[in-house]
Chains A and B, each alone.
Chain A
Amino acid sequence: MNRIASRFSELRAANRSALIPYITAGDPVPAATVDLMHLLVSKGADLIEIGVPFSDPMADGPVIQRATERALAHNVSMHDVFGMVRAFRATDSSTPVILMGYLNPVEILGYAEFAREAAAAGVDGVLTVDLPPEEAEDYAEILQVAGLERIFLVSPTTPNRRLQAVARLGSGFVYYVSLKGVTGANSLDTDDVARHIEDLRQFISIPLGVGFGIRDAHTAGLVSKVADAVVVGSVIVHLIEQHQHDLPAMHQAVGALVAEMRAAMDAVQIAGGAA
């Protein structure tokens, strides 16, 4: 079984939701990424999402745009990202790793080569922000053959008809973009998210994650009541930026936030389990 599927079934058995932190590969420097990944795991991450830097991140807000620019200042390439995942795998063979990014750096390698190398490096799933299911038939098949999960986004504007396409091509989990906007946008409305998640479950049978707009432990806890996974990106990347010249302080700050989110999610779930 793919690591993502087995991780979600373990979590389900324990009645817990997954915490999925996001960091941009190579931010603030390439040498920092693998240590940050291990730190995230040690503070309670269940899966890790790694952003592949792209020069034109049109779905990202200013925080992740700047992270991308810091990484690209070091010319971080897809091969470098594979190298980071491979290095991470040397001591962590169980935490699923998802690559999140834009299509062009994949296209230039070719889908087949990308899929082969990603799988060989120890990547478990791929989320391509600007590749909707309509254009993803070939890609999804190639990823599947390589054993990689195909993670698609759905948003508040996604009509039911398109949910069926996501349900057909998607695997691993479905990522619900909880608000209209770019990454790092304002806080989400947790009641609204809860309603949407209920509706989505009529179409989507695999786990449902929620991301965009989760900025604090309290919100992470609330979202974990209704979602199978909580994805947290911009607040973490913002801490990395603040402490970019002081690695110990960065680890301290990022570790504290992730641990706090993990604790809030666990508290909610223990309360929910007892009820």
Chain B
Amino acid sequence: MPIAAVDYASFPDAHGHFGIYGGIFAPETLMAPLEDLANAYAEAKMDAAFQAEIDKDFQDYVGRPSPLYLAERMTRELGGAKVYLKREDLNHTGAHKINNTIGQALLAKRLGKTRIIAETGAGQHGVASATVAARLGLECVVYMGADDVVRQAPNVMRMKMLGATVVPVTSGTRTLKDALNEAMRDWVTNVDNTFYIIGTVAGPHPYPMMVRDFQAVIGREAREQCLAKEGRLPDALVACVGGGSNAIGLFHPFLADEAVKIYGVEAGGEGIESGHHAAPLCAGRPGVLHGNRTYLMQDDNGQIIGTHSISAGLDYPGVGPEHSWLKDIGRAQYVSITDNEALDGFRMLTRTEGIIPALESSHALAYAMKLAPSMHKDEIIIVNLSGRGDKDMNTIARIEGYEF
């Protein structure tokens, strides 16, 4: 049972711990730079001018606030709770990822760094990083698993147009986790002039906290918008969980509202029982990877195992440490949606609302399709529509049998 007394705003502690999760598990060379980053961020957070700069960029460059849209036709078809969509797909560059890169790029500038590196899975974070780098005149190198370079080709093109160097990573499983390893290796080597913009709430402290804070604009807006439109808080929140940044961004401002149910949706791939999935919270166990302690997909020897998801952005064997903690204390529930169910969600939204969602976000939609019919008509669900589906056209075309 959730304990009402938890002061969610006081997590993580000074060393990045959310209960037993999080922390700083990094090679020695990165320890001092991580501490510098934590200090710089703590100062920036207190600096009204820094916050004002972020707010201005959010409004004039990203296009915030993003609308909270009542999906009326989808709601009617599902025949249950009202479904609202938080339209992060309408942000500049097409996903929530830009909220974070705006903030981290301003920090990079503050720290006097001239070079930005990033890892990317779906390419959305890579595009968002290349975008802010172009705008600030910084060099940008993006690491991307070689398999993802193929399945998210349109985003690779965008990054290149924006002036970034895209480095395909061929080690390990050739997906997001290997891109993260490679970005860490670059950072260890070029730490003097380089700022590493991590794209999700993973990595060593202060990243999970910092990325959460930048993404929490999603939940703050959604909370206000829901109160303005409905005069009350929603009954449930639903978001997909890869590393967990769009989810924690929506969830965090609602954590103290104990009546609001919270659902994080992991990638069930071919089904949890098949073993081919990317659902560490549903089917993994705690361990240490990429700088923090969290739920991981691993074998009995502690080796990280290959993941599978139709969506590159969810194809990650770990998850942000705050989600691990929220799972253990029971404040959020984590569920999974298979590739096929996600495709149903994708088709449903496209055909009922004229909105083409990202395959990642389609996982959240598919869970809302299950949840809404079980709820009353006067109840409210907010689904985080974390991104648009333009980048997924190749994948969808292949599945639907279209040829370009």
Contacts and interface: CB of A to CB of B under 8 A. Distances in A.
> Which of A56, A77, A102, A153 has its CB near the most chain B CB atoms (within 10 A)?
A56
Interface string A54-76: 11111111100100010010010
A129 B296 CA distance: 19
B111 to A, nearest CB: 14
B117 interface: no
B184 to A, nearest CB: 5
B188 A103 contact: no
A107 B185 CA distance: 23
A108 B302 contact: yes
Interface in B278-327: 286-291, 293, 296, 298, 300-305
A157 interface: yes
Contacts of A154: 28
A58 B301 contact: no
A152 B31 CA distance: 13
Nearest to B296: A104
B23 interface: yes
Q: How large is the interface on A (under 10, 10 to 19, 20 to 34, 35 or more residues)?
A: 35 or more
Contact of B288 (A57, A65, A107): A107
B226 interface: no
Nearest to A76: B301
Nearest to B304: A55
Contacts of B191: 157, 180
A105 interface: yes
Contacts of A53: 303
A157 B29 contact: yes
Interface string A147-164: 000001111111100100
A241 interface: no
Contacts of A61: 185
A64 B321 CA distance: 29
B298 A108 contact: yes
Contact of B287 (A62, A107, A134, A135): A107
Contacts of B177: 56
B50 interface: no
Nearest to A135: B23
A249 interface: no
B291 A75 contact: no
B302 A181 contact: no
Interface in A88-143: 102-109, 129-132, 134-135
A177 interface: yes
A70 B192 CA distance: 33
Contacts of A75: 301
A60 B178 CA distance: 12
A167 interface: no
Nearest to B301: A77
A130 B31 contact: no
Contacts, number: 117
Contacts of A57: 181
A78 interface: yes
B39 interface: no
Contacts of A59: 27, 184-185, 188
Given A55-B304, A105-B302, A157-B191, A180 B29 contact: yes
A182 interface: yes
Contact of B304 (A104, A155, A158): A104
B27 A130 contact: yes
A188 interface: no
B289 A152 contact: no
A155 B29 CA distance: 5
A56 B31 contact: no
A180 B31 contact: no
B175 to A, nearest CB: 12
> Which of A59, A129, A158 has its CB near the most chain B CB atoms (within 10 A)?
A59
Contacts of A55: 172, 303-305
Interface string B168-199: 00011000011011001100111110000000
A58 B302 contact: no
Interface string B25-45: 111111111000000000000
Given A59-B185, A104-B288, A177 B28 contact: yes
Contact of B25 (A103, A109, A153, A157): A103
A129 B289 CA distance: 12
Given A55-B172, A56-B181, A132 B303 contact: no
B395 to A, nearest CB: 26
A129 B177 CA distance: 18
Contacts of A103: 25, 288
A208 to B, nearest CB: 14
Contact of B298 (A77, A104, A131): A104
Interface string B146-183: 00000000000000000000000001100001101100
> Which of B32, B185, B192 has its CB near the most chain A CB atoms (within 10 A)?
B185
Contact of A158 (B28, B286, B303): B28
A109 B302 contact: yes
A154 B303 CA distance: 26
A185 interface: yes
19 contacts: A55-B304, A58-B180, A58-B181, A59-B185, A61-B185, A102-B288, A103-B25, A104-B304, A107-B287, A107-B293, A108-B302, A130-B27, A131-B25, A132-B24, A134-B31, A153-B27, A155-B28, A162-B32, A180-B191
- 5 closest A-B pairs by CB: A108-B302, A105-B302, A153-B28, A77-B301, A155-B29
